[in-house]
Structure 1
Amino acid sequence: MKQPLTLAEILAVLSDPQSVTDLKRYFGHAGESAFTGGQFERLGGGGDRPETCNLVTAEDLIAVELLSVRVPPRTALDLLQGALGEAVSAELGEIPTTVALGHPGALPLVEKGQGAYRAWRLLRKADGIGWVVAGKLLARKRPHLVPVYDEVVACAFRTRKDFWRWLHGRLGERDGILAERLADLRRQAELPDTISLLRILDVVMWMRHRDEHTGYRCPGGRLPTSGR
């Protein structure tokens, strides 16, 4: 089994000119229609805006659908006006919107049994919501702390379990060079600061691997031969 990408390998992907091209294409800056996911964070002003940051709203559910997943109707109603929504809101209320993955204070929030993990587990156990949808809902509510993560991105990184902790570690290496590179990439792609650095990373890795991903036993994303 291949090992997860090293920091140097991630930086090599980000330094490849294709990454800027992919970002512009995904978010609609390349003279063609944007992917619907380009509005995931920005729809309705964002899921972490103060007035709704601790509530799952209809806009959040639509935003998740922009990433090609869906919350079943009964579970959606429970999130909007039922006990599940109240339980998730209570967990969200314990998770600051200002803490970013890789920064001091983030790790205790994403460790097993802690804030974001408890909210993720609560969502994952709901009818019709698996680990992918649960993660995407949380990424909408806490875009600087929780990354969008699915099978394609997991394969591109060659990671599986404990991804939040693993990525936190990479973001903390070499005085935070990964975050600096992501911010620079966001500027090169002429994207607004409302797009989180975690989302920049997710989109780059997803765009690079989505067409070549073969599902089970996929060897993972190919690395650029230069640009490290």
Structure 2
Amino acid sequence: MRSIADLRKCASAHLDTYVDPRAPFAFATYDQLYDFSGTLTAPDCLAANLLTLRLRHDHVIPLFQRDAGAGPRLLAAMQRVLDATTPDEPAFAELDSIDEPPFRLVRNANLLTEEVPQWTAVTVSKVLHRLRPHLVPICDALVRRFYLADQTVTFYRALHDDVRANRDLLAAITRGRRTPDGRPLSELRALDIVIWHHERYGCCVLS
């Protein structure tokens, strides 16, 4: 199975390239909390578009309608993730498995996307990761390809095993790195950036 350890030699260079303020990537915009109050808002949902989603107004507005439909149920499920955790705890790598209650809440939200147009596990992950960067991994197609995972649950299990096995490496490549608003860069975000950038561009552009 492929692992972040396979990219040990080029990981820091991938991070350097992505977080460069002159680079055409989302780090300076997506990786900010702005004025988050603890309650999920429509701007929080739309901020996920910075990672190449295509959420339109008519995909987000139904989540905030005052009824008992599928949209508000999905919004409530994502809010439960936020209410049960903090921006720093728990960490994905500290869970014994992806079946533990904090991450089970994320998986429950994923299940509800089947009834909401344009929402998938990918969408949920890109909305929630900004707000819980240590708990919710970004479920990106290129990162899933790296792990040879065609199912979301398969991806999360493979990622969980890899993160737990390589915490020293992830701690080393994130040491001293911060988000644009001054928070420590999470290991999950660093892993996502390194693998995404490697799968998208390879290592030849780093030499």
Q: Structure 1 residues 110, 168: closer, same or farther in 2, change over 3 A?
A: farther
Structure 1 unaligned runs (5+)?
213-221, 223-228
Displacement of 1:42? 1.3
Other-structure match for 1:92: 79
**Equivalent-residue separation in structure 2 for 1:202 and 1:126 (angstroms):** 26
Structure 2 unaligned runs (5+)?
none
Other-structure match for 2:168: 180
**Equivalent-residue separation in structure 2 for 1:205 and 1:167 (angstroms):** 11
Tell whether the 8 Å contact from 1:132 to 1:149 is kept in structure 2 after alignment: yes
Displacement of 1:150? 1.8
What secondary structure does 2:117 align onto?
Answer: coil
TM-score computed with the length of structure 2 as normaliser: 0.77
Show CA shifts across 1:117-154 (max 9, x none). 11122235311223322321232332212111221111
| Amino acid corresponding to residue 108 of structure 2 in structure 1 | R
Other-structure match for 1:136: 126
| Amino acid corresponding to residue 191 of structure 1 in structure 2 | R
What secondary structure does 1:210 align onto?
Answer: helix
Show CA shifts across 1:44-97 (max 9, x none). 15xxx5x32xx3313312320110112232221122444424652355325423
Other-structure match for 1:158: 148
Tell whether the 8 Å contact from 2:46 to 2:55 is kept in structure 1 after alignment: no
- What number of residue pairs does the alignment pair up? 190
Tell whether the 8 Å contact from 1:41 to 1:63 is kept in structure 2 after alignment: no
Corresponding residue to 1:121 among 111, 115, 119? 111
The structure with the greater share of residues assigned to helix is: 2
Aligned ranges 1:19-34 → 2 under 5 Å = 19-28=11-20, 32-34=22-24
Identity %: 24
Structure 1 stretches of 4+ moved >6 Å: none
